[in-house]
């Protein structure tokens, strides 16, 4: 329910925030700055939708934490993740996209224009919103992960692997990411343990083969992590082998690096009251489109893609979102 506040119609919740009576209206607001967000911006800017991007906690998105990207079309020699994102950003800016620091902290999509609050203190109203907030790496939930964050624990081998040259490391997970990260780390570390909770890898056959034939990688099937230890810096992990079985036993491994590669959580929480998601939090879109259950709100990239999760598919869905937004404006007038 809207009430008057400093010359603005604001909701009760928003009244608690001091906006100094100011809000700003934007035609097309893009939330998130990965390949989906930047591609949406390129198309939206060229269609004169005057897009503004709110970059989010990780400007440039997940690709800024990778090294070589060899499968993005148009780069026959490959490109690093950060350079690819800088290129996409520059292309979005070239057509007039405004790119801002900030994080969206709440939204109200029950009204038109949509209301978006940035950093808990700026109110933006927007005719159309494209959500491209991506996904975030999962952790096991151990207290020790926090204790050794930045001093042994990481969720990005390609970002932090360099610090473990010549040392022993562990990677947790049995999917493609875990296998890829273990393989990558084997080029730097002395030894890599791959900690897998089941008795098989769910990674693709090609990835599995790469892992199995790598002499530096030891796969520990049927192992779960109980705790981590070390005096200041990480020195090792305590694992449970065959958890819940008669032959359950505790195993200690000495590692200086502990890398999580157990999947991702879509960054949809802030939209959850308004936007329909699946059980895992991925935003639902009408098949073949970027349209969400709310008119004028579109979703692109990993936030709505539990399956492909590639830079190129994210970019393609960003294009779709901008085209859908353009059509939405055309139909409004």
262 sits near ligand NDP (criterion: CB under 6 A)? yes
Q: Which is nearer to ligand NDP, 170 or 322 (CB)?
A: 170
Joined together, the tokens standing for residue 117 give 């609050």
* Count of residues that interact with ligand NDP, criterion CB under 6 A: 15
Nearest distance, CB of residue 84 and ligand NDP, angstroms: 15
175 sits near ligand NDP (criterion: CB under 6 A)? yes
Q: State the catalytic residues.
A: 156, 159-160
8 sits near ligand NDP (criterion: CB under 6 A)? no
Q: Which of 86, 176, 218, 235 binds ligand NDP (CB under 6 A)?
A: 176
Nearest distance, CB of residue 53 and ligand NDP, angstroms: 25
The residues near 209 (Cβ < 8 Å, ≥ 6 apart) are none
Joined together, the tokens standing for residue 154 give 């990481």
314 sits near ligand NDP (criterion: CB under 6 A)? no
50 sits near ligand NDP (criterion: CB under 6 A)? no
281 sits near ligand NDP (criterion: CB under 6 A)? no
Cα angle 268, 271, 274; round to 5: 135
The rounded distance, in Å, linking the Cα atoms of 12 and 14 is 5
Q: Which of 59, 82, 113, 263 binds ligand NDP (CB under 6 A)?
A: 263
Nearest distance, CB of residue 45 and ligand NDP, angstroms: 30
135 sits near ligand NDP (criterion: CB under 6 A)? no
170 sits near ligand NDP (criterion: CB under 6 A)? no
Q: Which of 36, 52, 171, 178 binds ligand NDP (CB under 6 A)?
A: 178
In the three-class reduction of DSSP (H, G, I as helix; E, B as strand; rest coil), residue 159 is classed as helix
Nearest distance, CB of residue 248 and ligand NDP, angstroms: 16
- Rounded to 5 degrees, what are φ and ψ at 53? -105, 130
The rounded distance, in Å, linking the Cα atoms of 194 and 256 is 14
What is the helix (H) or strand (E) element at residue 144, kind and residue range? Answer: helix 143-147
In the three-class reduction of DSSP (H, G, I as helix; E, B as strand; rest coil), residue 330 is classed as helix
Nearest distance, CB of residue 332 and ligand NDP, angstroms: 37
Would you state the torsion angle of the CA atoms of residues 298, 300, 306, 308, taken in this order, to the nearest 10 degrees? 150
Strands 68-69 and 79-80: antiparallel
Nearest distance, CB of residue 51 and ligand NDP, angstroms: 28
The DSSP call for residue 300 is -
The rounded distance, in Å, linking the Cα atoms of 141 and 21 is 41
198 sits near ligand NDP (criterion: CB under 6 A)? yes
CB atoms within 10 A of CB 166: 8
Q: Which is nearer to ligand NDP, 11 or 208 (CB)?
A: 208
- Asked if 58 and 103 count as a contact pair (C-beta separation under 8 A), the reply is no
84 sits near ligand NDP (criterion: CB under 6 A)? no
Q: Which of 172, 270, 299, 300 binds ligand NDP (CB under 6 A)?
A: 172
- Cα end-to-end distance, the chain, whole Å: 27
Residue 289 Ramachandran class (φ > 0 left, ψ -120 to 50 alpha, else beta)? beta
59 sits near ligand NDP (criterion: CB under 6 A)? no
Binding map of ligand NDP across residues 138-167, x = CB under 6 A, - = no contact: --x---------------------------
Nearest distance, CB of residue 303 and ligand NDP, angstroms: 14
For 233-280, the DSSP string reads: S--EEEEEETTTSTT-EEEEEE-SEEEE-S-EEES-GGGTTTS-B-TT
By CB under 6 A, name the binding residues for ligand NDP: 140, 172-178, 180, 197-198, 202, 262-263, 309
């Amino acid at each position: 329910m809207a009430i008057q506040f400093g010359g603005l119609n604001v909701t009760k919740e928003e009244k608690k925030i001091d906006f100094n009576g100011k809000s700003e209206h934007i035609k097309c607001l893009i939330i998130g700055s990965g390949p989906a967000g930047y591609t949406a911006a390129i198309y939206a800017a060229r269609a004169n939708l005057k897009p503004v991007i709110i970059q989010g906690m990780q400007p440039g998105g997940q690709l800024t934490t990778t090294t070589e990207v060899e499968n993005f079309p148009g780069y026959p020699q490959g490109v690093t993740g950060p350079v690819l994102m800088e290129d996409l950003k520059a292309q979005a800016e070239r057509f007039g996209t405004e790119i801002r620091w900030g994080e969206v902290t709440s939204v109200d999509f029950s009204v038109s224009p949509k209301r978006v609050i940035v950093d808990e203190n700026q109110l933006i109203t927007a005719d159309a919103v494209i959500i491209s907030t991506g996904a975030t790496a999962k952790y096991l939930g151990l207290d020790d992960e926090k204790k050794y964050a930045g001093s042994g624990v990481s969720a990005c081998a390609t970002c932090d692997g360099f610090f473990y040259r010549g040392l022993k490391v562990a990677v947790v997970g049995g999917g493609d990411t875990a296998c890829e990260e273990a393989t990558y780390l084997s080029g730097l570390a002395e030894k890599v343990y791959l900690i897998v909770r089941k008795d098989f890898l769910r990674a693709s056959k090609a990835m599995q083969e790469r892992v199995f034939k790598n002499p530096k990688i030891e796969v520990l099937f049927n192992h779960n992590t109980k705790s981590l230890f070390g005096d200041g810096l990480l020195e090792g992990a305590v694992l449970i082998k065959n958890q819940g079985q008669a032959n359950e036993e505790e195993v200690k491994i000495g590692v200086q690096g502990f890398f999580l590669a157990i999947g991702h959580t879509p960054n949809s929480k802030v939209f959850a009251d308004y936007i329909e998601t699946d059980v895992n939090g991925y935003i639902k879109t009408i098949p073949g489109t970027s349209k969400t259950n709310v008119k004028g709100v579109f979703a692109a990239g990993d936030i709505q893609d539990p399956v492909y999760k590639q830079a190129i598919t994210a970019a393609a869905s960003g294009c779709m979102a901008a085209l859908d937004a353009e059509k939405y404006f055309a139909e409004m007038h």
